[in-house]
A and B are shown apart, each in its own frame.
Chain A
Amino acid sequence: MSATIINLPDQSTARIPKVNFLTKENGLLSWLLTGDHKRIATLYLISITFFFFIGGALAGLIRLELLTPQADLMATDTYNKVFTMHGVIMIFLFLVPSVPATLGNFFIPMMIGAKDLALPKINLLSWYLYVVGGILVIYTMVSGGVDTGWTFTTPLSTHYINTNVMSTGLAVFIAGFSSIFTGLNFIVTIHKMRCPGMTWFRMPLFCWSHYAASILMVLGTPVLAIAVVLLALERTVGIGIFDPTKGGDPLLFQHLFWFYSHPAVYIMILPGMGVVSEVISTFSRKRVFGYTAVAFSSVAIAVFGFFVWAHHMFIMGISNYAVLVFSLLTMLVAVPSAIKIFNWTFTLYKGSITFETPMLYAFGFMGLFTIGGMTGVFLGTSGTDIHLTETYFIVAHFHFVMVGGMLMAFLSGIHFWWPKWTGRMYPEKISQLAAVVTFIGFNFTFFPQFILGTLGMPRRYASYPPEFQVLNVFSTAGSTILGVGYLLPVLYLTWSLKYGEIAGDNPWQATGLEWQTQSPPLTENFLVTPIMDHEAYDYDWLEHQKESEVTSVG
């Protein structure tokens, strides 16, 4: 144990460096043909924000429709299309790429002291695939939408629905490859591009969680592609693999689909956990409690995450003994998440804590993810799953994990690395307000849904029995607050691009290598290849670094 005092540097003399990755080259082509991971991350950030607000607008429509028990705002068919598009956009075009393709893309090479990702062209290709997927989804929307639900359940999607299933399937298929390429790139980069001295156990936990998520992307997403191709073949030529009248098995599709889509929730949440590790450590000025436990719990989640998919099918007539096995494995995958929560909590112990915006979002993450995780145990327990599955309880559960957990982590990360990314600070007070508003709005929106689910209100209902109205009104009211919470950052972050204070190299006094270079970074990231001669989160090293800097300059 040793003591550390960190004083924030004087920012008044800081200037935006003339040469950085944003100013190095100009013109649209220099962006569209770039191989720079930081520029690609910027392209991704703009595109996923665009799709987030489309998905968010659809969510607003859903909540408005559910304000009253009758289907009066829109026809049931329209409602079905709206929630389908909301799911498809939010999952495939926002949550899956959110942290990895933006923050991961930008900071993994910098954290391990590399110039770029190992495969820059593949990285650019990945963004183009994402854009093609996105355009196909928009095409689907404007040409009439699709109403299968984002789960594409057969035989509904193959034999009974005549909306744009094919274009949506193609979009998912293509966006899937974008995700595979991102994951592949991270795995190769982390294996081959670490700077001298950067051993596996000196990497920031952000890299560990991305490594775990990348394994899931590379091994899981191809199964989704297979499922979608089989779906397309079933729909067009009727190969019969999912059709019981031809000897096929309609449940097989769900097995294939969830074999990807359950690990996918870990693809979504693991990078967020990486963000939280960085943020909590930085603002407590203390190394992450139990570094190895946190690192290995990410890997454990990735490994166990592959063997729990059938817990989505407990009521679907799979054998009781299969239910036993999958329920048990689901319990096991819950443990590493609990380990992480407690490790983050104890990182605070004897720290020196400040409460800047990223930290507030990270606290929000911890609270909401704990609720989301615990309610996951309700659903992983086979006996209670029977009553709670397919109701609003499950809607509330996955929104607590995905929105309360992942989106909070994403916003935490965006606020944390924004000064590094753009070289400028955002207004602190208003961003803290946004974090609090988001937290309150979130709880108002989604907590009532737990009660609705317990009462038995089924999900994907355009109309519902009148006694459920009270809680639905609460939920809709909360969603307007939540909407404000999400709009605020867009406004003040955009504002800060021009008017924000100059941030300087390391405004938070964080230890990661990405902070030991200029903001915004050079295209090459570092002037000289860094040499990692200390552990991750070594605040003593940072202190000495500053001293030696002063002596060498003086």
Chain B
Amino acid sequence: MSHISPTLWEFLVKWMTNFALFPPEASKIAPQMDALYFFMVLISLIGLTIVILLVTSFSILYSKERHPVAVQIEGSTLLEATWTIIPLGLFLLMFVWGSLLYFRIYTPPANAMNIYVVGKQWMWKAEHPGGQHEINSLHVPTGRAVQLTLISQDVFHSFSIPAFRVKREAIPGRYTTVWFEPTVPGTYHLFCTQYCGTNHSAMIGDVVVLTPEDYKKWLDESTSGASLAQNGERLFASLSCNACHNTRPDARGPSLANVYGSKLALSSGGTVIADDAYLRESILNPSQHVTQGYAPIMPTYQGQVSEEGVFALVEFIKNLNSDYRIQQTTNTVDLLPEGELKAAPAVGGAGLQGPAGQKPATPGMVKQ
């Protein structure tokens, strides 16, 4: 092979070793999506073959040399009906099949473990419930349904794992979710697929799928000392949320114990299920979400809590199942000297935005 230039030779070898035509299947949904994909490829090939065969054979049979006299034909209702109904039928079949798949991918099972993901220019930050933080990587175990709750801190991003065949947009100001069940341990690509500015193509990472044993080991090794809910609890105290949400009979805010997943009556009339998105909204935009029987005095926390901080608060409120826990936070605050509270640093990587020491919750600041 001496007559081939070394660069070209190296390149060819690289081609042969790295040449891939189909992505790995590493989640439970992947084979299901591939089945539909190959069905559609098959139908497309059949359709294309029919068109090519017809055009070629007509071109040969009715070329001017062979067929100098054109026969004028008006059309044929029967044929029109045929090539209207058959494609329509096939398209509808794909529609039904695809929609079933779509609902499956975007409807997480109730027992899924939840990981919070924040997208920002140009990185992915994952917050595990156990308090593990990751940047541009995501560790997940095989054999468990994993739900991701996504939000963007700035522009649109899109969380894409081709090997799992799932993708979900991370949108500013709104939670989106997606779930998957990894099946094969390994390291897979994580891409941002929504164009997000200068380093869009660097907003990539690895999804590491581990066996349950390895995953447990990883969790233990990567712990940051406090769980996400504990971070939330600290934040809850340092933002003085418990000044009003304190479970006392004369409290100005409703008790938050067991509030997650419950049906709330709002002062504006309707009822609402308190899910993640609702909790986020009522922290950042409280005047729109006042529980019946309470005055609209809660100030907005927009711009004072980062998205990770909101995740911590949501995780804390999600796991609150007794008033006792909240009373504990009240005690924490009582025990803290005034100065220390003000200087409260960013809690567990989540923390406050804006100048530290600004005490946000002054009842006079209520918007509208």
Write out the residue numbers on chain B whose beta carbons fall within 8 Å of the beta carbon of A316. Answer: 156, 169, 171, 176
- How near does chain A come to B274, taking the closest CB pair, in angstroms? 19
Interface residues on B, range: 35 or more
Interface residues on A, range: 35 or more
Q: For the complex, is B102 an interface residue (Cβ under 8 Å from A)?
A: yes
Write out the residue numbers on chain A whose beta carbons fall within 8 Å of the beta carbon of B303. Answer: 245
CA gap between A156 and B171 in the complex, in Å: 11
Q: For the complex, is A94 an interface residue (Cβ under 8 Å from B)?
A: no
Write out the residue numbers on chain B whose beta carbons fall within 8 Å of the beta carbon of A355. Answer: 59, 63
Q: For the complex, is A235 an interface residue (Cβ under 8 Å from B)?
A: no
**Given the known A-B contacts A331-B94, A458-B192, are A348 and B70 also in contact in the complex, defined by CB atoms under 8 Å?**
no
Q: For the complex, is B199 an interface residue (Cβ under 8 Å from A)?
A: yes
Q: For the complex, is B52 an interface residue (Cβ under 8 Å from A)?
A: yes
Q: For the complex, is A554 an interface residue (Cβ under 8 Å from B)?
A: no
Q: For the complex, is B95 an interface residue (Cβ under 8 Å from A)?
A: yes
B99 lies within 8 A of A327 (CB): yes
- How near does chain A come to B359, taking the closest CB pair, in angstroms? 21
Q: For the complex, is B51 an interface residue (Cβ under 8 Å from A)?
A: yes
Q: For the complex, is A470 an interface residue (Cβ under 8 Å from B)?
A: yes
CA gap between A339 and B48 in the complex, in Å: 14
Q: For the complex, is B222 an interface residue (Cβ under 8 Å from A)?
A: no
- How near does chain A come to B103, taking the closest CB pair, in angstroms? 6
Question: With contacts A374-B43, A458-B160, A469-B15 known, what are 11 further pairs, Cβ within 8 A?
Answer: A80-B198, A155-B154, A244-B172, A335-B87, A350-B62, A351-B67, A352-B69, A370-B47, A374-B48, A383-B105, A384-B37
B160 lies within 8 A of A390 (CB): yes
In chain A, residues 352-398, which have Cβ atoms closer than 8 Å to a Cβ of chain B? 352-355, 363, 366-367, 370-371, 374-375, 377-378, 380-387, 389-391
Which of A76, A247, A363 is the one whose CB lies under 8 Å from B55? Answer: A363
Q: For the complex, is A164 an interface residue (Cβ under 8 Å from B)?
A: no
B58 lies within 8 A of A353 (CB): yes
B68 lies within 8 A of A461 (CB): no
CA gap between A284 and B79 in the complex, in Å: 19
Write out the residue numbers on chain A whose beta carbons fall within 8 Å of the beta carbon of B84. Answer: 335, 338-339
Q: For the complex, is B28 an interface residue (Cβ under 8 Å from A)?
A: no
Chain A residues with a Cβ under 8 A of chain B: 1-6, 71, 76-77, 80, 147, 149, 151, 153, 155-156, 159-161, 244-245, 247, 250-251, 284-287, 289-293, 314-317, 320, 323-324, 327-328, 331-332, 334-335, 338-339, 341-343, 345-346, 348-355, 363, 366-367, 370-371, 374-375, 377-378, 380-387, 389-391, 451, 454-456, 458-467, 469-470, 539-540
What are 25 A-B pairs at a CB distance below 8 A? A80-B195, A80-B197, A155-B156, A156-B155, A289-B76, A314-B102, A331-B91, A338-B83, A339-B83, A342-B83, A352-B62, A352-B68, A366-B55, A370-B51, A378-B40, A381-B95, A382-B99, A383-B33, A384-B33, A384-B36, A455-B23, A458-B201, A462-B201, A464-B201, A470-B15
Q: For the complex, is B128 an interface residue (Cβ under 8 Å from A)?
A: no
Which of A4, A292, A338, A343 is the one whose CB lies under 8 Å from B70? Answer: A4
**Given the known A-B contacts A251-B171, A390-B193, are A350 and B73 also in contact in the complex, defined by CB atoms under 8 Å?**
yes
Write out the residue numbers on chain B whose beta carbons fall within 8 Å of the beta carbon of A467. Answer: 18-20
- How near does chain B come to A182, taking the closest CB pair, in angstroms? 30
Highest count of chain B CB atoms <10 Å: which of A1, A153, A290, A459: A290
CA gap between A366 and B48 in the complex, in Å: 10
Which of B154, B162, B285 is the one whose CB lies under 8 Å from A160? Answer: B154
Which of A286, A320, A387 is the one whose CB lies under 8 Å from B73? Answer: A286
CB nearest to B106 among chain A residues: A320
Interface residues as binary, B312-354 with A (CB distance below 8 Å gives 1, 0 otherwise): 0000000000000000000000000000000000000000000
Q: For the complex, is B110 an interface residue (Cβ under 8 Å from A)?
A: no
A286 lies within 8 A of B64 (CB): no
Write out the residue numbers on chain B whose beta carbons fall within 8 Å of the beta carbon of A71. Answer: 201
CA gap between A232 and B302 in the complex, in Å: 25
A386 lies within 8 A of B174 (CB): no
